[in-house]
Amino acid sequence: MHVLGLVAKPIFLSPTRFLVTWKKKPNRLALVLHSTTALAYSPRLTKDPALPSLIDSIATLASLRRLTEAFAAFSLLRLRSPSSHILFRLTYLLLNSATEHQSLPAGEQLHAFSISFGLFYHISLLSPLTSFYLSFGLLHSAASVVEESSYILPWKLLISSYVRNGFSAEALAAYNQMFSIGVVPDCFTYPSLLKACGEAGDLDVGREIHRSIESSGIGSNIFVTNALVAMYLKCGELDVARKLFDEMPARDVVSWNSIISGYASRGLWMEAFELFELAMEGCSEVNSITWNTIIGGLLQKGDHVKALEFVSQMRLSKTGVDFVTMVIALNACSRIGMLRLGKEIHGLAIRMVCDDLESLRNALITMYSRCKDTRTAHLLLRMIKNPSLVTWNAMLAGFAVEDRAEEASLLFREILQSGLQPNYVTVVTILALCARVANLQHGRELHSYITKQEFTGYRLLWNSLVDMYSKSGRILEARRVFDAMTDRDEVSYTSLIAGYGMQGDGIAAVQLFDEMISYGIKPDHVSMVAVLSACSHSKLVSKGEILFNKMESTFGIKPRMEHFSCMVDLYARAGLLEKAEEVINKAPFQPNSAMWSALVGACQVYRNTELGEKAAMRLLEMKTDNAGHYVLIANMYAAANCWGELAKVRMKMRDEGVRKAPGCAWADLGNGFKPFVVGDRSNSVSPDIYGLLEGLAEQMYDEGYAICEELGYGN
């Protein structure tokens, strides 16, 4: 069989059989092929009258993607012993056709033919052969074509393909091989090489290439300089990159984007903002990447309003906003509760026909959820045919924001039914919600799910379980989870310390805190609040004082308002009212309502009406809208038989428009916590709830406790 023969026997075709009359503009390949036919008509090239027609047939068949027939015609042409020039040109054009129409066997046969007839090393054939193999991702085959070439173009194609496919080491190895045989890179090869250095983090080779660029005299080329800046930024040489940027005679959008992104990626937002302003002042073009980098930086810094202002400016600029901008803007809206603006962005997304993008839909669901419009968020979720886990998690977070545990639990079951595997984000979101609303039933279900799925490596999950059991009053279960953990941090200890504190077991809380310190785990300000609060509930005054005094000297934690509030509560509960007042007066902060209310409550218990009245006046001066504070003051006056002062407090409540909301609580009836409101018997489980309350009241009486009613505010 012939090298290029695609049939067992030669097929003798009529030259006129494949003639085509063009009735419309031919494509680029056809034009090139017909130009080759014109060359064949030259008397200097051939004297065979059938050759022009046969060449024309090959050109036409190739342009029509009929490569099998084109190769059969090419086999016939070779039987007529055409000149090497005609063979070369047709090989070149058939190779381009094989590349364009993605015919691997055809290209491989042409490669073999070029070797057999000595055409392989021709400069004009090496590049198409390299491109052919690269188009199929056959980098090894392309490298075998290029390896001994003394021309730059095939090397450039190979190196850029290596970099594009993430093979930085291979790209640099190709550069070394190319350099060893004397091939010098040009201004189009250097950017790919520098990108490979940046991706590989190879600063030494990058510097070597930089020296080569300077010696070659193309250092002023903007594409090369941009690549140098990007390489030094990737390798952590920010100062060198900035020096190169400042020395550039001209800059384009790539230059500005690279240097701004370089500062932004290191959290140097002030410098990034300054560079952005310089770019805008110089009327330089900045693309959406630069805009989005700056807007994202403002969002990261917490300047949500300014981020939205920049979005507005970007929309009015030539660049215009894209879907990434809208995702960032929706994130900003969700952080500051700007529902109206979020809806406007939603409308813009619909007009730009990009509202069906998953990332944008997730951002919309998050925005509506955080802005407490869970109805719209839920509608958006239902509009998605096959929601991803990220989308489900966004909706779960929305229910969590509104403490809607039942809906979140139903949604979790729906995720399982959809066939998706919930990740730790899904479980942590619901666990945190169960902890906040003390939903023990759902929390236990999640505990079982976590155990079955073997989420052993996620400390955050186990911390959430400890927190959930602690806040639900199940301190023994919390302790079992805690003891089973192999990797604990300050959050693990803090959750359990807080649980012991709420149960009134301050000694256990302090022992656990000491254990945490002995293991070298440094407490944070939340840990200190938990242990000081535990001391307060158990009246461990001395231990509380020691821990408070150690905060800054031993633990390096500067006391905050909440720590001083804990100390006020500690002294107040222990009856040390003067000390509590002293802490309030000496605190480096303006006393808050929590401090004064703690003192008022203690004055009621210990019958110190004089100090209590002073604290009450300070509390009323704050014009608090917390009805509980007014009730606390009223109860203090009632306990001291100061009925006139009590009447004034009630009048002030009426004048200020403060109304006491009905008391709401939860009762665990064995199948989860059920909410109930004071005086409401419409609840389906009211008989069970009030039966439980009566039993608790009897136990309290038996233990010697007196149940005090809030005068005038309940039955």
670 sits in the region (left: phi over 0; alpha: psi -120 to 50; else beta) called: left
pLDDT of residue 542: 95
* Shared-domain flag, residues 19 and 87: yes
* Shared-domain flag, residues 380 and 296: no
Is residue 274 pLDDT above 70, yes or no?
yes
* Shared-domain flag, residues 640 and 700: no
* Shared-domain flag, residues 267 and 367: no
Is residue 464 pLDDT above 60, yes or no?
yes
* Shared-domain flag, residues 10 and 108: yes
Q: Give the residue with greater pLDDT, 390 vs 72.
A: 390
pLDDT of residue 482: 96
Give 637's pLDDT tier (boundaries 50, 70, 90).
confident
Q: Does residue 135 lie within any of the structural domains?
A: no
pLDDT of residue 283: 62
Per cent of the chain over pLDDT 90 is 37
pLDDT of residue 705: 65
Query: Tens of pLDDT along 639-656?
Result: 767 777 767 767 766 666
Which of 286, 315, 344 finishes a domain? 315
Task: Judge contact between 341 and 374, C-beta under 8 A.
Answer: no
DSSP-assigned beta bridge partners for residue 676: 665
Q: Does residue 199 lie within any of the structural domains?
A: no
Q: How far apart are CA 202 and CA 194, in angstroms?
A: 9
Per-residue pLDDT averaged across 281-289, rounded? 75
Q: Does residue 202 lie within any of the structural domains?
A: no
pLDDT of residue 570: 94
Q: Does residue 360 lie within any of the structural domains?
A: yes
We report the CATH number of the domain holding residue 574 as: 1.25.40
* Shared-domain flag, residues 602 and 619: yes
Query: Tens of pLDDT along 355-397?
Result: 889 899 999 999 999 898 999 999 999 998 889 999 999 999 9
Q: Does residue 536 lie within any of the structural domains?
A: no
Is residue 680 pLDDT above 70, yes or no?
no
Is residue 690 pLDDT above 90, yes or no?
no
Per cent of the chain over pLDDT 70 is 83
pLDDT of residue 508: 96
Give 634's pLDDT tier (boundaries 50, 70, 90).
confident
pLDDT of residue 361: 92
Is residue 469 pLDDT above 90, yes or no?
yes
Give 611's pLDDT tier (boundaries 50, 70, 90).
confident
Q: Which of 580, 596, 582, 472 is nearest to 536 (CA)?
A: 580
Q: Does residue 407 lie within any of the structural domains?
A: no
* Shared-domain flag, residues 598 and 710: no
Q: Which of 448, 458, 456, 405 is nearest to 429 (CA)?
A: 405
Token pair listed for 406: 């039942």
* Shared-domain flag, residues 90 and 10: yes
Which of 332, 349, 384 finishes a domain? 384
* Shared-domain flag, residues 3 and 106: yes
Is residue 425 pLDDT above 80, yes or no?
yes
Task: Judge contact between 427 and 448, C-beta under 8 A.
Answer: no
* Shared-domain flag, residues 35 and 75: yes
Token pair listed for 550: 């150690």
Q: Does residue 6 lie within any of the structural domains?
A: yes
Q: Is 73 exposed, middle or buried (0-12, 13-18, 19+ CB in 10 A)?
A: buried
Query: Which of 258-272, 407-421, 677-691 comes out lowest in average pLDDT?
Result: 677-691
Is residue 455 pLDDT above 70, yes or no?
yes
Query: Tens of pLDDT along 123-132?
Result: 777 888 888 8
Q: How far apart are CA 538 and CA 410, in angstroms?
A: 40
Q: Does residue 467 lie within any of the structural domains?
A: no
Domain span at residue 304? 251-315
Domains identified in the chain, total number: 5
Per-residue pLDDT averaged across 606-622, rounded? 81
Per-residue pLDDT averaged across 222-232, rounded? 94
pLDDT of residue 651: 74
Query: Tens of pLDDT along 298-345?
Result: 998 889 999 999 999 898 888 889 999 999 999 999 999 999 999 999
DSSP output for 226-245: HHHHHHHHHTT-HHHHHHHH
Per-residue pLDDT averaged across 432-449, rounded? 85
pLDDT of residue 44: 41
Is residue 7 pLDDT above 50, yes or no?
no
Compute the C-alpha angle 199/203/209, nearest 5°. 95
Question: What single-letter DSSP state applies at residue 677?
Answer: E
Per-residue pLDDT averaged across 619-626, rounded? 73
Is residue 107 pLDDT above 90, yes or no?
no
Give 105's pLDDT tier (boundaries 50, 70, 90).
confident
Residue owning tokens 């058939």: 94
Give 689's pLDDT tier (boundaries 50, 70, 90).
confident
Which of 660, 678, 707 finishes a domain? 660
Query: Which of 205-219, 253-267, 667-681 comes out lowest in average pLDDT?
Result: 667-681
* Shared-domain flag, residues 689 and 594: no
Compute the C-alpha angle 429/433/435, nearest 5°. 120
Is residue 559 pLDDT above 80, yes or no?
yes
* Shared-domain flag, residues 713 and 684: yes
Q: Tell me the residue type at 424.
A: Y
